[in-house]
Amino acid sequence: MAQDAIALLESDHQRLENLVKEFKSASGDRAAKLALAQIICAELTLHTMVEEEIFYPAFAKATGNEEMVEHALKEHQHVKDLIAKVPEAENLEGAIEAIWHHVQHHVEEERREMFAKAKASGMELATVGGRIQVRRAEVAAAIQEA
């Protein structure tokens, strides 16, 4: 049975938080830190992708609230711009800190506004969750083949 879409997205948020904690507490070894930073960026990229392709359109359809989606997309774009700077960042800690600062704010808004509205709308969260799981599996398979 498919997992609820909001539960899936929240478990991504939690996983990201754990990864950022791990990054912060990792020793000064640049290679290890860079590897963790890359995992954080890849997880974030996959998360924003399934939100943009699946959750946000389903939310807009269920609630008619296009404004909230547009606002979220702007925040995603900002995070993507920050992610693009990570490979060349001289200050890796600062680069991840800047991303995390923005992501935390964005996640808070998703939780407080968008997810609350989604739950109240009667949106088909299990169906949308199933689509998110299928898409994730496709992308994971494509990455393994590459």
Taking the C-alpha atoms of residue 61 and residue 144, their distance in angstroms, rounded to an integer, is: 33
CB of 45 to Fe ion, least distance (A): 12
- The Cβ of residue 22 has, within 10 Å, a number of other Cβ atoms equal to 12
Rounded to the nearest whole angstrom, what is the least distance from the CB of residue 30 to Fe ion in the complex?
A: 29
Does 8 help bind Fe ion (rule: CB under 5 A)? Answer: no
Q: How far is the CB of 38 from Fe ion (least distance, A)?
A: 19
* 77-116: contacts with Fe ion (CB under 5 A): 110
Q: Interface with Fe ion includes 128 (CB under 5 A)? A: no
Closest C-alpha to 73, from 91, 60, 86? 60
Among 21-29, 33-41, 44-52, 82-90, which window interacts with Fe ion (CB under 5 A)?
A: 44-52
The residues, any chain, with a CB within 8 Å of residue 122's CB and separated by 6 or more, are 62
Asked if 51 touches Fe ion (CB under 5 A), the answer is yes
59 is a site residue for Fe ion (CB under 5 A): no
Q: Which residue is nearest to Fe ion (CB)?
A: 51
If phi > 0 it is left, if psi is from -120 to 50 it is alpha, else beta; for residue 124 that is beta
Between residues 13 and 33, which has the closer beta carbon with respect to Fe ion? 13
Q: What DSSP string runs through 49-105?
A: HHIIIIIHHHHHHHH--HHHHHHHHHHHHHHHHHHHHGGG-S-HHHHHHHHHHHHHH
Give whichever of 33 and 71 is closer to Fe ion, judged by the CB atom: 71
Identify which range of 17-25, 48-56, 92-100, 116-124 contacts Fe ion by CB under 5 A.
48-56
Q: Interface with Fe ion by CB under 5 A: which residues? A: 51, 110
